[in-house]
Structure 1
Amino acid sequence: MTITYNVIEAVIAITAGHMVSSSALIAFGLDSIVEVMSAAAVAWQFAGPDPEARERIALRLIALSFFGLAVFVGIDAMRALLGAPDPDHSTIGVVLAAVSLAIMPFLSWFERRTGRELGSSSAVADSKQTLLCTYLSAVLLVGLVLNSALGWGWADPLAALIIAGVAAKEGVDAWRGKHCCTPPLFTVESSESTCASRRC
């Protein structure tokens, strides 16, 4: 669900961003691509016969996607603050941001619940990536509306810089494996229970 939605979101955002010269919309589309990479890492982990062996690699891939998001959003925000021209009004962008703001919290909650039920740190980390998209959707929506209504082109990049900092922190946590899940995905059993399960 996350991969499918974000692919559609990326295509719409980047196309609309080029049409109205909106760096915020283009950055939002790039963020969607980063989210696809993060969700794909989790899908890759559970596609194998031994997800435990892939857990650390999946977490590292998710961490890199967080860092990528921070870089994309941070560079675009600094570019906007340093004098990039204000974008034209984009009805498509406003609608896309509003729809994402409504959908992303549900996807994040679903991913987080599933990750905790499985005890998967990578799935929980990916849910935080999706939650960040919720914040970016709100930032994009507010920025587009304020730019269109009041000409406040600085509001969006300022908030985006804060989100970029949060994304960088989440990336560090994912890299260090600090996303806590209960119960653990792969419970350590005693040697007797392990042997019994193998006999079964």
Structure 2
Amino acid sequence: MIAHSAPATPDLNATRRAVLTRRVRWVVAVTITWNVVEAVVALTAGHVASSTALVAFGLDSVVEVLSAAAVAWQFSVPDPQARERVAMRLIAVSFVGLALLVSVDAVRTLLGAVEPEHVRVGIVLAALSLAVMPFLSWFERRTGRELGSASAVADSKQTLLCTYLSAVLLVGLLLNATLGWTWAGPVAALVIAAVALGEARGAWRGDACCAPTALTTTRTDDGGGAGSACTDPCCSSDAGATRQATPVQLSARRP
């Protein structure tokens, strides 16, 4: 039994590959634009209202910009696969940054160092983010999987975590405004921070959630057999919904 390296991406014709590459560039550009606007609004409003929650949310948006920018950098060359590993490492660092920012803000709130404020602009901003970010995450993840881009899949998960943070901000502001529950948002945020650290570890190792790239797949050729390529737990779950998925199969025959 002889182990062979898997092809960098699934079998795609040049036309389809070009279409998928343009889609990745498009969704990354939209993600960067949205998060830049989101960061400016959140940081400005947070400074004016002295809202640490909004400032932290704005900083989280900056981290998401850095993650998407890594993918944009990768796909700015004719051969994006050559930059795949570096892009994955940059995304891993962005996950760690996200976890640290969220954890520090949550712990400070739980210890009483800061008091969550009821800010109307924060509620509106979080609601808009919840309407936009899930679609961008789904579109990039779907495109990245078909193209075989580990970095696009990883960045889509970064976007999804930012969606969860938007929900935490929205629920936290509403609970604080109505019931005075200052602890609800920070506790949920710490859970998200733990998830972000797990994603950072996977991105650093090159895990791609069933994206069959050179970083994550191997095949075994014993004269016609096929080897399973996907071992990541997210092969059986997608965006929190458990489902069964068929592992990527790559096969080869000797001439």
Q: If the length of structure 2 is used for normalisation, what is the TM-score?
A: 0.70
Q: Report Cα offsets for 1:23-80 as digits up to 9, x if no partner.
A: 2211111110000000000010010132122000000000000000000000111111
Local SS of the residue matching 1:128: helix
User: Would the aligned equivalents of 1:109 and 1:127 in 2 still touch at CA under 8 Å?
Assistant: yes
RMSD (Å), alpha carbons: 1.7
Report the structure number with the largest CA radius of gyration.
2
Equivalent residue in structure 1 for 2:183, among 136, 154, 161: 154
Residues 1:105 and 2:134 are matched in the alignment: yes
> What's the CA shift for 1:183?
4.7
Distance 1:137 1:96 in 2: 8
Residue of 190, 199, 205 corresponding to 1:170:
199
Match of 1:95 in 2: 124
Runs of 4+ in 1 over 6 A off after TM superposition: 185-188
The corresponding residue for 2:232 is none
Question: Residue 33 of structure 1: which of 62, 67, 70 is its match?
Answer: 62
Question: For residue 231 of structure 2, what is the aligned residue in structure 1?
Answer: none
- Provide the C-alpha distance between the structure 2 equivalents of 1:182 and 1:68, rounded to a whole number of angstroms: 24
Amino acid at match of 2:186: P
Check if 1:117 corresponds to 2:146.
yes
Task: Report which of the two has the higher share of helix.
Answer: 1
Rounded to whole Å, the distance in 2 between the matches of 1:181 and 1:112 is 10
Question: 1:118, 1:185 within 8 Å by CA — same for their partners in 2?
Answer: no
Identity %: 71
| Higher relative strand content | 2
1:171-198 Cα offsets, whole Å, 9 max, x none, are 000000111344547999xxxxxxxxxx
Partner deviation per Cα, 1:90-116 (whole Å, 9 max, x = no partner): 110000000101111000001101111
Could you state the TM-score of these two structures normalised by the residue count of structure 1?
Answer: 0.89
2:39 match: 10
C-alpha distance after superposition, 1:135-172 (max 9, x if no partner): 00100000001111111111111111110000011000
Q: Residue type matched to 1:168 in 2?
A: L
**Structure 1: 5+ residue runs without aligned partners?**
189-200
Give the stretch that moved more between structures: 158-167 or 10-19: 10-19
| The one of 30, 33, 42 aligned to 2:71 | 42
Alpha-carbon distance, 1:17 to partner = 1.5
AA in 2 matched with 1:5 = W
C-alpha distance in 2 between matches for 1:34 and 1:85: 22
Asked if the contact 1:86/1:147 (under 8 Å) is kept, the reply is no
What count of residue pairs does the alignment treat as equivalent? 188
Q: 8 Å contact 2:153–2:211 — kept in the other structure?
A: no
